[in-house]
């Protein structure tokens, strides 16, 4: 029911190449305004700015790109696809950074629209021109799993790992997507192989701890993450707390999160995890306080997760009217959240 704010396989969007795309292009005030409104989740306002940008004669390719991103935010994927295709059609024949940027967006829109074969073909085209793109291999592996093409997906994941055997973030991304598609045992083989590798002695305690966490070996995870925690990293505290949560020791887990917060009150993810821990302890008032405190952190990067968890906390506190109002507003900002739609049906019966 709650949102964990878990790490997801990222689609190369939202400004991946924006700085290089915009460099040297003057007279783009309306486009810049539209992109700012997208960051603020005001997609309708952004589309209005892009219309004004057209009237002002600003860069047509960037306008179509921005419109596509806004339509993705509104979950109007067919419209988004058409805009990205329009942006690509404006190319002068020379392949530039903007072409790769827009193609990543196009593949993301196809994926969101369930057009996995079309998404795969876009990643094929990217890799034909830039075979060193790790993101494209990783994302193509995702859509190949969606197409039930496990063998080719695994080839792509193997390629990603071979490109950088010590990129443990990538390794864990691959593990999580394999687990999501029912291939956890294969994912575990990847993790064990990393631990057994000849250069594993160079793996720091944080990376070992989180690998053990995903393998379910919580005792080894504790030991490694306690050592990593001394270096002060928020992620070390998060994984250590989650390892204790996994064994049902929510009291110790909450003390881990509070220990970190006593040193740093600017990490929204730690507050969110503390809130989830308090929910598990059935202390819904403290959970709500944790979620709302995190929401006050500027540029926290996880407003969707926090907003949904705030709604659920209000439900558990019996404040159904408040939860219903917040959920209606939430669905305006995140209209494709199926979990939230189900929650709305539940609230309508209260």
Domain ranges, residue 136: 115-203
Q: Are 165 and 190 in contact (CB under 8 A)?
A: no
Q: Do 45 and 122 lie in a common domain?
A: no
Of the residues 203, 226, 257, which one is the last residue of a structural domain?
203
Q: What is the Cα–Cα distance from 268 to 24, expressed in whole angstroms?
A: 36
The dihedral through the CA atoms of 205, 207, 213, 215 has a sign that is negative
Q: Do 132 and 195 lie in a common domain?
A: yes
Q: Do 93 and 160 lie in a common domain?
A: no
Q: Are 2 and 277 in contact (CB under 8 A)?
A: no
Q: Does the global pTM surpass 0.75?
A: yes
The token pair at 24 is: 């040297």
Greater confidence (12 vs 48) lies with 48
Per-residue pLDDT, 304: 93
Q: Do 144 and 193 lie in a common domain?
A: yes
Q: What is the Cα–Cα distance from 219 to 240, expressed in whole angstroms?
A: 10
In a domain, 143, yes or no: yes
Q: Do 33 and 73 lie in a common domain?
A: yes
* CATH number of the domain encompassing residue 16: 1.25.40.10
Domain count within the chain: 2
Q: Look at the block and give the residue holding tokens 């990490």.
A: 267
For residue 25, is pLDDT > 50? no
Per-residue pLDDT, 92: 79
Percentage above 70 pLDDT, the chain = 91
3-state secondary structure (DSSP) of residue 317: coil
For residue 251, is pLDDT > 70? yes
Mean pLDDT of the chain: 90
Q: What mean pLDDT comes out for the span 22-43?
A: 80
In a domain, 312, yes or no: no
In a domain, 82, yes or no: yes
Of the residues 155, 188, 203, which one is the last residue of a structural domain?
203
Q: Do 143 and 185 lie in a common domain?
A: yes
Q: Do 107 and 120 lie in a common domain?
A: no
Of the residues 96, 113, 130, which one is the last residue of a structural domain?
113
In a domain, 212, yes or no: no
Confidence of residue 202 (pLDDT cuts 50, 70, 90): confident
For residue 203, is pLDDT > 60? yes
Q: Do 58 and 21 lie in a common domain?
A: yes
For residue 84, is pLDDT > 50? yes
3-state secondary structure (DSSP) of residue 29: helix
Per-residue pLDDT, 95: 85
Q: Do 102 and 141 lie in a common domain?
A: no
Confidence of residue 2 (pLDDT cuts 50, 70, 90): low
In a domain, 18, yes or no: yes
Q: Do 69 and 160 lie in a common domain?
A: no
Cα dihedral value 333, 78, 32, 298, nearest 10: 30
Q: What is the Cα–Cα distance from 97 to 92, expressed in whole angstroms?
A: 13
Q: What mean pLDDT comes out for the span 17-24?
A: 40
Q: Do 73 and 29 lie in a common domain?
A: yes
In a domain, 211, yes or no: no
In a domain, 185, yes or no: yes
In a domain, 286, yes or no: no
Confidence of residue 332 (pLDDT cuts 50, 70, 90): confident
Q: Do 26 and 50 lie in a common domain?
A: yes
For residue 168, is pLDDT > 70? yes
């Amino acid at each position: 029911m709650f949102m964990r704010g878990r790490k997801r396989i990222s689609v190369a969007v939202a400004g991946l190449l924006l700085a290089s795309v915009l460099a040297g292009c003057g007279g783009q005030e309306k486009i810049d305004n539209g992109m700012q409104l997208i960051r603020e989740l005001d997609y309708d306002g952004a589309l209005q700015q892009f219309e004004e940008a057209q009237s002002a004669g600003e860069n047509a390719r960037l306008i179509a790109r921005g419109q596509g991103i806004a339509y993705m935010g509104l979950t109007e994927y067919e419209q988004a696809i058409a805009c990205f295709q329009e942006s690509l059609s404006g190319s002068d024949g020379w392949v530039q950074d903007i072409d790769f940027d827009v193609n990543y967006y196009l593949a993301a829109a196809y994926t969101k629209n369930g057009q996995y074969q079309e998404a795969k073909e876009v990643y094929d085209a990217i890799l034909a021109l830039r075979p060193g793109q790790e993101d494209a291999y990783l994302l193509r592996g995702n859509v190949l799993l969606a197409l039930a093409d496990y063998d080719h997906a695994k080839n792509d994941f193997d390629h990603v790992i071979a490109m950088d055997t010590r990129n443990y973030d990538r390794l864990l991304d691959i593990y999580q997507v394999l687990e999501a598609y029912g291939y956890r045992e294969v994912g575990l083989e990847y993790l064990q192989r990393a631990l057994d590798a000849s250069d594993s002695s160079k793996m720091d305690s944080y990376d070992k701890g989180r690998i053990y966490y995903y393998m379910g070996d919580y005792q080894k995870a504790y030991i490694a993450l306690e050592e990593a925690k001394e270096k002060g990293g928020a992620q070390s505290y998060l994984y250590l707390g989650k390892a204790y949560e996994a064994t049902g020791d929510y009291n110790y887990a909450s003390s881990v999160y509070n220990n970190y917060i006593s040193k740093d009150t600017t990490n929204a993810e730690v507050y969110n995890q503390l809130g989830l821990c308090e929910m598990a302890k059935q202390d819904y008032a403290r959970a709500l306080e944790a979620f709302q405190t995190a929401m006050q952190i500027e540029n926290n990067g996880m407003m969707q997760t926090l907003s949904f968890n705030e709604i659920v906390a209000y439900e558990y506190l019996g404040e159904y009217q408040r939860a219903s109002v917040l959920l209606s507003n939430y669905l305006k900002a995140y209209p494709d959240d199926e979990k939230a739609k189900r929650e709305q049906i539940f609230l309508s019966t209260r």
